[in-house]
């Protein structure tokens, strides 16, 4: 792969952290940067894939219901499924 030069500007403490991390990982700051960008791109692609799997109706309804902080989703689903299948708790 052909390489191009990139100059980044960061506070000295960040540069020091990057150098320390590169030593710990036995790699270069350039390699760490490349891996970071690849990982971010992969995460974005996965997020895009997820949003494509959710239909427009579902997406439009996202966030419409506000649940109390103490709401227990597992308990709720357990109750719903028990009721659906005629199981007593």
Q: What is the pLDDT of residue 59?
A: 78
| Maximum CA extent, the chain | 67
The token pair at 54 is 């959710």
Q: Closest Cα to residue 32, out of 54, 51, 60, 10? A: 10
Delimit the domains of the chain by residue range.
Answer: 12-84
Segment 39-78, tens digit of pLDDT:
999 988 877 766 667 778 887 888 888 889 999 999 999 9
Tell me: pLDDT of 3 over 80.
Answer: yes
Q: What is the pLDDT of residue 89?
A: 57
Share of the chain above pLDDT 70, in %: 92
Type and span of the H or E element at 20 = helix 12-24
Buried b (16+ CB within 10 A) or exposed e, 60-88: eeeeeeeeeeeeeeeeeeeeeeeeeeeee
Distance of alpha carbon 73 from alpha carbon 86, whole angstroms? 20
């Amino acid at each position: 792969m052909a390489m191009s030069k990139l100059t980044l500007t960061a506070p000295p403490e960040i540069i020091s952290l990057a150098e320390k991390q590169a030593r710990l990982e036995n790699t270069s700051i350039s390699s760490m940067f490349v891996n970071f960008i690849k990982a971010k791109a992969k995460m974005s692609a996965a997020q895009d894939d997820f949003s494509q799997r959710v239909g427009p109706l579902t997406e439009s309804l996202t966030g419409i219901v506000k649940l109390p902080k103490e709401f227990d989703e597992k308990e709720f689903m357990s109750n719903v499924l028990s009721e659906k299948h005629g199981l007593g708790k």
